[in-house]
Amino acid sequence: MGMSNRDASAPVAALETLTIGISGMTCDHCARRVEKALRAQSGVKDVSVNLKAGSATVTFDRASTPVESLRQAVTRSGFKTTA
């Protein structure tokens, strides 16, 4: 009989991946600022900012991180989110 490394009673986070459109980024520094703001949100597991596409792809735990908090983080970093 094999033992599982995961405790069966431990909840498994339901990770979700979302791409957020971002306007106003003009340089690598802008992209890094957005990435840092998104990574600082609780529940965020991974962030990839694409300067050329004007977007950020975020993998996060929706149970602990509402989508609106991600959008607000982008706004607080000085940029606007798009649809």
Nearest to 46 by CA among 1, 81, 15, 71: 15
30-50 pLDDT, tens digit each:
999 999 999 999 999 999 999
Residue-range domains of the chain with CATH:
16-82 (3.30.70.100)
Q: How far is CA 34 from CA 9, 10, 29, 43, 69, in A?
A: 36, 32, 9, 16, 13
Positions of the chain with pLDDT under 70: 1-13, 83
pLDDT at position 14: 85
Nearest to 20 by CA among 57, 49, 53: 57
